[in-house]
Amino acid sequence: LDALPTHKDLTFCDEFVVTLELFYITTFHFMTFSMEQHNLTTKMKCLSQRESNNHHKLD
């Protein structure tokens, strides 16, 4: 019986796993959000460059 983990150890492990999962999920969402923000910024830059190029053509 001594070799088996106690109920307290199990809850600690469960909490640790849940915390780890939450950490991974949060990190993953943050990374995805950052990538989207970066893509959006890049698109906006490209659009503004295109507009300025078009203005030059009009001149």
Model pLDDT for residues 1-54, shown as the tens digit of each residue: 556 656 666 687 888 888 999 999 999 999 999 999 989 999 999 888 888 877
For 6, which DSSP code? P
Q: For residue 58, what pLDDT band results from cuts at 50, 70 and 90?
A: low
At 51 the pLDDT is 81
pTM (global) more than 0.85: no
